[in-house]
Structure 1
Amino acid sequence: MRAASEASEAAAEEPTESKKEKSFMDKFGVIIYIVLWYAFNIGYNIYNKKALISYPYPWACALWQMSFGWLIFVPLWILRIRKTPKLTVSQAVTLAPSALGHLATHVGAVIAFFAGAVSFGHIVKASEPVVSSFLNFAFLGEVMPWQVYASLLPIIGGVGLASASELSFNWLCFGAAMGSNLGSASRAVYSKKVMSGGDIGENMDSANVYAVLTIMATFMLIPISLLIEGPSAMLKGFKIAYSAGGMSFMWQMILSGFYYYMYNEVAFLALGKLDPVSHAVCNTMKRVVIIITAIFVFRNPVTGLGVLGSSIAILGTLIYSLAKNKYAKPLRLFGQRGGGGAWEVSAIFIRPSGPETRD
């Protein structure tokens, strides 16, 4: 009787404990995800730049960081912690252009941070809404309300002012960052135009779509990086960097790859719990925190006009997100979106339609 009574009491306590656990995540889950999102993103920007300083081979670094994700999602599939995605050949071909855009987004950013200051690279990357709006009009015929287009003006002006006053300005950094914006925006346009049917395989949730794009982009990047920088030069540069830095250099490489994948993974969890307005605010603050941290860590000199231009550009991205969320849906001049189950693409991941997300 005593044993039965204790078992009954234990059973009665289990729902209470699970309820407490659920209540904790309901209260603090979003905050935890946002903190991790910021922390991993800051960590990536710092260790990516340090790795590029020690090992000045941006294509090799980009390849390493993209390949590192395999060490995370492949074991999850093998251990059945995460469902394994299943695609046909035709579905993989459909995803290929998105993988190419994913490749351009990442490589462009790495080259930009290699060629110039991390802070300036992020200022230029803040102009992605301008590129996205142009491509949406050119290829999808989407015309947004005038208020949305008006919100692009401070972005253009701010980036221009920051670029003109940037002490370490160079065209490679600016061009690579714009190339990253073009890759991200092109991936989004392609998804709206071609992948709107949602039929891209089994078990293709946001995390698995991101993993599949990473695999495909890695295979695309291998021959390109080897052709541009050469395997012998990569190996020689690695030996020199290791001789100079030892395990410190190795940790820079490892952490840059780890933080790169993890900030994208956690971003999916964070953004999935945020409404569009909250996401716009959090994303704007994230970019501000990264720029300030990069300036503090790497001691990049900035001018008063540079600070002003950066502030205007970043504030413009926030205004753009809020304006796009508030005003009417875009008017489509030509072309039709496919059937139900549309997919959205951000610079981070693809997911079923819901609140818009953008890196």
Structure 2
Amino acid sequence: MLNELPAMNRHRGQQNPRKGLAFTVGLVTSWYCSNIGVLLLNKFLLSNYGFKYPIFLTTCHMAACSVLSYIALVFFRIAPVQTVRSGVQLGKIAALSFIFCGSVVSGNISLRFLPVSFNQAVGATTPFFTAVFAFVMTAKREAWVTYATLIPVVTGVVIASGGEPSFHLFGFIMCIGATAARALKTVLQGILLSSEGEKLNSMNLLLYMAPVAVVLLLPATLIMEENVVGKTIQLAREDFKIIWYLLFNSCLAYFVNLTNFLVTKHTSPLTLQVLGNAKGALAVVVSVLIFRNPVTVTGMLGYSITVAGVVLYSEAKKRNK
């Protein structure tokens, strides 16, 4: 009997890594599904379905994030609740929320005019804008090799733009604006919430940013998207599925943030970067298969060059740390 104990312990030791791997694979799969799902559903609602209210759609997303963030942190305790310690800190969070709103709204507007494949190609240039804002706002200098890797990042998008059959100038400007705002939020977050007493993990930051975003977006949607509530009710009378689409889409927007937090927590930064690049490529393939938007060899070549540039940029930053 005693001789069997080591064997039993070895057996348990073999099972745990498998369970850990299965858990990580499940997290990554959930992250991929929620990210790609919300992107495709946004495109479907705003472009194919004809729900032309991107600000109201973003307001629904933020309202869901407000409620679900509170439930996840307070009741399910997925992370310790961090409190806002001062009015100054709240003001910083509000500033980040304003930029975050601009990023999401601009991204949703761009999906009305651009295919998901091109949207993802432009979105891949986030490292370029992050490097620019970091240099301008913090005078942070990277090694020349790191800056050199940004050349293919930008060049790829230029090539993809020239080869995009569905290119739309306003949609392109909105997409660039969304990408730049996303990068600006990242840099500002590092500046504004840099002290140990003010640092918040991504789920707590979302908990406080989402209600502020609703307060900012609600008057904007009522002014800029006239009678949007009445029109949505009218759409629901004609096809009640719109209500289910909005509810599911809003919950999915929260799970994008939740799964991103969990994947970040359970994997390394390098793994996260590789998975993120692969996610973007998969989103392009799935969107083309679903929406059948035309793609060209030139466009795919440009996107590939951009992704390669992002990979080189990540590798250069890692080596120069």
Asked if Structure 1 and Structure 2 have the same fold, meaning a TM-score greater than 0.5 normalized by the shorter chain, the answer is yes
Deviations along 1:200-234, whole A, 9 cap, x unmatched?
28xx443112221222222222222222212x1x1
Partner of 1:263: 256
Deviation per CA, 1:29-86: give whole Å up to 9, x if none: 2211111100111111121122223311111111111211123123345546465442
1:210-225 equivalence runs, <5 A: 210-225=206-221
Conserved in 2, the CA contact under 8 Å of 1:48 and 1:252?
no
The 3 A distance-change label for structure 1 pair 78 and 141 is closer
Task: State the match for 1:57 in structure 2.
Answer: 53
Residue among 23, 27, 36 paired with 1:29: 23
Which amino acid in structure 1 is aligned with residue 203 of structure 2? A
**Range with bigger deviation, 277-286 or 74-83:** 74-83
Change (3 A) 1:79 1:267: closer
CA contact (8 A) 2:61 2:251 kept: yes
Per the TM alignment, residue 22 of structure 1 is displaced from its structure 2 partner at its CA by 5.5
- Alpha-carbon RMSD: 2.4
Q: Is residue 136–residue 189 contact of structure 1 (8 Å, CA) maintained in 2? A: yes
* Counterpart selection for 1:245 from 229, 234, 239: 239
* Distance in 2 separating the partners of 1:20 and 1:226: 58
Stretches of structure 2 that go unaligned for 5 or more consecutive residues are 1-8
CA 1:178 to 1:80, structure 2 compared with 1: closer, same or farther past 3 Å?
same
Instruction: Sort the Cα spacing of 1:24 and 1:214 in 2 relative to 1 into closer, same or farther, 3 A.
Output: farther
Q: Which residue of 2 aligns with 1:332?
A: none
CA distance in 1, matches of 2:247, 2:15: 33
Structure 1 partner of 2:4 = none
Give yes or no for contact 1:50–1:252 (8 Å, CA) kept in 2: no
Determine helix, strand or coil for the equivalent of 2:266.
coil
Residue 307 of structure 1: how far off its partner (Å): 1.2
Q: How many residues align?
A: 309
Task: Summarize the alignment of residues 1-359 of structure 1 with structure 2, pairs less than 5 Å apart.
Answer: 23-53=17-47, 54=49, 55-76=51-72, 79=75, 81=77, 83-87=80-84, 88-200=86-198, 204-230=200-226, 232=227, 234-247=228-241, 249-326=242-319, 328-329=320-321
Q: Closer, same or farther in 2 for the Cα pair 1:153/1:274, shift >3 Å?
A: same
Residues 325 and 294 from structure 1, CA distance in 2 versus in 1: closer, same or farther, beyond 3 angstroms?
Answer: same
Q: TM-score, normalised by structure 2?
A: 0.88
Q: Which amino acid aligns with 2:65?
A: G
The 1-side partners of 2:307 and 2:111 are apart by 18
C-alpha distance in 1 between matches for 2:174 and 2:196: 31
In 2 relative to 1, CA 226–18 (structure 1 residues): closer, same or farther, beyond 3 Å? farther
Structure 1 alignment gaps of length 5 or more: 1-14, 330-359
TM value normalised by structure 1: 0.79
Match of 1:237, SS?
Answer: helix
Aligned in 2, Cα 1:251/1:16: closer, same or farther, shift over 3 Å? farther
- The structure carrying a bigger helix percent of its residues is 2
275-284 or 234-243: which moved more?
234-243
Answer whether contact 1:99 1:216 (CA < 8 A) is retained: yes
Identity percentage of aligned residues: 23
Paired with 1:81 and 1:139, the residues of 2 have a C-alpha distance of 36
Cα separation, 2, equivalents of 1:158 and 1:100 = 30
Shift of 1:192: 2.5
Distance 1:45 1:190 in 2: 25
Separation in structure 2 between the aligned mates of residue 284 and residue 236 of structure 1, nearest angstrom: 40
